[in-house]
Structure 1
Amino acid sequence: MKHRVKAVIAYDGTNYSGWQVQQNSKTLQEVIEKGLTKMHEGRKVTIFASGRTDAGVHANGQTIHFDTDYYVPPERWPITSAGLFPPDIQIVSAEYVEPSFHARYDALGKEYRYRVLATRTRDVFRRHYTYFYPKPVQVEKMREALPFIEGTHNFASFCSTGTSVTSTVRTIYEARIEAHGDELHFVFKGNGFLYNMVRILVGTFLLVGTGSMKPEDMQAVLEAEDRKKAGRTAPGHGLYLERVVYEEGPF
């Protein structure tokens, strides 16, 4: 009997060329599918994720689904699967869901976190997990710019060129900047995100923080609907997919 499993997974994206299977590159999808296929004695297991993550991007709460003819008590999946994957991939939790559930199409919202190391010197132990940014930044100025991106807007200025989406309108329910010691964490909660949207937002907020832009300039960047008006794309290794939401009213 087939069962559909909805699983929350965490991974360190440092050693992977992103999520989706690629030729001649190690990807997260490939490694996870190989592990589950081994568990199923060579019967191919295909996984479906809430969305792709790029090279170097991490996750605390990526969500996937797959079908299995094995029954493992839901609370046992993290333990049972531990030996199937490298130590930089972990099933955090799992549950059995209706056969119609789809990790991507049923997702109603996502939360991302981006970590910036705001110090004058590098930290060798955080080089894969934070974006080292040695320039002085004014956090309060960046926080003044946050309200301009909250709500429903056309985020074309914050989307990588060449993407094939039919609409660049998205809703950000909450945006905030947290101070954690010598790190700044940019947190975004929304109903969906465009390709590189969070990384471009962070790059633009840092321009505000250094004084290259005023907080109110964020409004003009939004209205321009032009990628060239926004800041640089912050590197992938500072980005974390924190959680994916499947029920109404999460934020």
Structure 2
Amino acid sequence: MRNIKLTFQYDGTKYQGWQRLRNTPNTIQEKMESILSLFTNENIELTCSGRTDAGVHAENAVANFKTNCTSSTEEIFHYCNTYMPKDIVVKKVDEVDENFHSRYNAKEKIYTYKICNNTFHNVFTRKYSYHIPTKLNIDKMREAASFLVGEHDFKSFTALKSKKKSTVRQIYSINIIEEDGNIDMVFHGNGFLYKMVRILAGTLIEVGLSNIESDSIPHLLFLKDRSQSGPTAPAHGLFLTRVVY
């Protein structure tokens, strides 16, 4: 049994997220598995580095699958990019150790949240950045972000309902980069909870709009109460940038 690793990108605009769903075939996982199953003549099940919500994009997602198919990685690569939908591109195919697991072996993840902070939106990037016409205070956002770096209980910043799963995570850095009204918020951590990045982004945006004080972040962490933090930023501005193994 071979273990095949895929590195791929996708535009999540029209999909209901990564994970296969019972009520719709319109997910990234369903589309990719159906193509790979046709190629291998097997029932392929992909294991992904992490699930993304409906409308979220990925630049370098990682998944793996087990197969008895004898085709070369080059043949798999060519077939995928011939028959996958145009908004899904496989960038690399590798044969890896049988014990490799794209989710459990991931050590770090990097997400980027994109904002258009100009008076009018850009027609060419409007599907891939959140348009906020009001000028954001970047310095205040950076100050607030500094309080989020480190190991914390992020219960105030997740939509996770389970009380059994730990909400402690470590954020290594949050870089906020602004150029010509385009803002990238880059989140680098050892893992992120359900909707955590979007809630962090939404909270930092509220700081930038002066609706939340930058020095209130430690108190929000202490409260462990989702209702006290900022809104969940729209999905279309979020990209999974990189997974580190």
2:96 counterpart residue number: 97
Counterpart for residue 30 of structure 1: 30
Q: Give the superposition deviation at 1:76.
A: 5.8
CA RMSD of aligned residues (A): 1.6
Query: Are 2:122 and 1:123 aligned?
Result: yes
Q: Percent identity?
A: 39
Residue aligning to 2:131: 132
Residue 199 of structure 1 corresponds to 198
- Using structure 1 for the length normalisation, give the TM-score: 0.92
State TM-score, norm by structure 2.
Answer: 0.94
Alpha-carbon separation, structure 2, partners of 1:161 and 1:70: 38
Partner residue of 1:81? 80
Q: How is 1:75-224 mapped onto 2 (pairs within 5 angstroms)?
A: 77-163=76-162, 166-224=165-223
CA distance in 2, matches of 1:112, 1:88: 19
Q: Give the 3-state SS of the residue equivalent to 1:123 in structure 2.
A: coil
Whether the 8 Å contact between 1:38 and 1:84 is mirrored in structure 2 is no
Shift of the 17–159 alpha-carbon distance from structure 1 to 2, 3 Å rule, reads same
Superposition deviation, residue 84 in structure 1 = 2.4
**TM alignment of 1:222-241, pairs within 5 A:** 222-241=221-240
Q: 1:44 to 1:161 in 2, by over 3 A?
A: closer
Question: Deviations for 1:62-113, whole angstroms, at most 9, x for unmatched residues?
Answer: 1100122334554665434211210111111121111111111111111100
- Three-state SS of the structure 2 residue aligned to 1:124 is coil
Q: Deviations over 1:127-167 (max 9, x none)?
A: 22111111211111111112100010000010115245511
- Find the residue that maps to 2:37 and give its secondary structure: helix
Could you tell me whether the CA contact under 8 Å between 2:150 and 2:171 is conserved in 1?
yes
Contact in 2 for aligned 1:77/1:93 (Cα 8 Å)? no
Is the CA contact 1:199–1:239 (under 8 Å) kept in the aligned structure 2?
A: yes
Counterpart amino acid of residue 37 in structure 2: T
Compute the displacement of 1:177 (Å): 0.3
Unaligned runs of 5+ in 1: 247-251
Aligned partners of 2:150, 2:111: CA distance in 1, in Å? 16
Runs of 4+ deviating beyond 6 Å: none
Distance 2:73 2:140 in 1: 46
Once residues 39 and 222 of structure 2 are traced to their aligned partners in structure 1, the CA distance between those partners, rounded to angstroms, is: 51
**Number of equivalences:** 244
Question: Aligned pair in 2 of structure 1 residues 75, 175: CA closer, same or farther (>3 Å)?
Answer: farther
The residue identity in structure 2 corresponding to 1:104 is R
What SS does structure 1 have at the residue aligned with 2:36? helix
In structure 2, relative to structure 1, the CA distance for the partners of 1:39 and 1:164 (3 Å cut) is farther
Counterpart for residue 4 of structure 2: 5
